Structure 1
Amino acid sequence: MWNDLMNLGVSVPDKILRTVAVYVVLAILIRLAGKRDLAQLNAFDLVVMLLLSNVVQNAIIGPDNSLLGGLIGAVVLLGVNAAVVRAVRRSDRAARLLEGSTTTLASEGRWDLRALRREGLRQADVDAAVRRQNAASIADVQRVTIEPGGAIVATLRPDLAPATKADLAALEAKLDRLLARQQG
């Protein structure tokens, strides 16, 4: 039993190389697939992600079904991911290369249909995201973007944006000046 748990079916360098190679290829494929996959998984995306993990399992473990082999693969995956996350955090260039950049989907109340197609997004899905951010329609937004992580961000037109504390303080100061003039 102990032998089955600890006897590797492949060498440690082979295990590390397999794990790193699968990580790199999957990261590239997900990057090429676009930001939409990261924004919200629909039922089809979820099925693909579940099947993808099963498809690449043998590429990582090879003929090795040992506990030790699985733990080595897990440690390598976590280590490579931690290194990538740190590189992205330290370097804007690495972040753009590995994560992409912000894409404008609509500006001044008008859709950029080319950008929607390029990102694989349906206008109806982005419309729903815009409504969740307090805009009645695309006409209410100054800009809609999809961030590298897949979040859709709608910036309301200035005349429709909620008042900030600074706006209220400025209004209060203006009212105080008006009252002071009327009383004085």
Structure 2
Amino acid sequence: MWFDAWSDLGRVAAVGASAYLTVVVVLRLSGKRTLAKLNAFDLVVTVALGSTLATILLSSDVSWSEGALALALLALLQFVVAQMTSRLPWARAVVTAEPTLLLRDGRLLPDALARQRVAVDEVRQAVRATGQGDLSSVAAVVLETDGSLSVVPASQAGDRSALDGVRRETA
């Protein structure tokens, strides 16, 4: 169908503008973490916010007030989970993945790469992106909880305290 009625278009415009403002207000009130690239839970919340906004815009069965409540509820739940994970280690372990060491002292860790489904080429790409020319100049490559790769050059490894809490595999 290409067109139903002008009233439908008017509803989408009016509710869309209101829902957009509601999303902006909810995100400002809920803080930076709501849209942060942190872990799978945060991704789910971000996708759910987008899906909820789309439903508010396009479904005449969902009122603006119901949608606004759904958006606020998602932000509140994300806030509660963030508070729990920052205070309770067991909650963090349930909600977020553990960072994993993929390369140590220039040597790739094949078991860790296989378990995390990371290709050697992805590690090499991350190392190149930091300006390193060879793996031997790298103290560590860590697969972070958000799926990104962190590279610690050997020249900047220091006491390696930044690697505390990182899952270590054997070589």
Deviation (angstroms), 1:93 = 2.4
Q: How many residues align?
A: 116
% same residue: 21
The match for 1:155 is 152
Equivalent in 61, 65, 69 of residue 66 of structure 2: 69
The match for 1:111 is 108
The match for 1:45 is none
The match for 2:121 is 124
Identify the structure with bigger relative contact order (alpha carbons < 8 Å, sequence gap 6+): 1
Instruction: Report the TM-score when normalising by structure 1.
Output: 0.50
Deviation (angstroms), 1:77 = 0.3
CA distance in 2, matches of 1:71, 1:54: 13
1:149 partner letter: D
CA distance in 2, matches of 1:80, 1:93: 18
Equivalent in 90, 94, 97 of residue 91 of structure 2: 94
User: Which structure has the larger Rg over C-alpha atoms?
Assistant: 1
Instruction: Report the TM-score when normalising by structure 2.
Output: 0.53
Structure 2 gap segments, 5+ residues each: 1-6, 15-39, 159-171
Q: How do 1:1-184 residues align onto structure 2 when only pairs under 5 Å count?
A: 30=40, 64-157=61-154, 161=155
CA distance in 2, matches of 1:63, 1:120: 43
Q: Which has the higher helix share?
A: 1
Change (3 A) 1:54 1:83: closer
Change (3 A) 1:152 1:109: same
Deviation (angstroms), 1:63 = 8.8
Local SS of the residue matching 2:70 = helix
State the Cα deviation string for residues 71-97 of structure 1 (Å, max 9, x = none). Answer: 111011000001011111112222222
Structure 1 gap segments, 5+ residues each: 6-29, 32-37, 39-48, 165-184
Question: Hey, which bits of structure 1, 4+ residues long, moved more than 4 A?
Answer: none
CA RMSD of aligned residues (A): 3.7
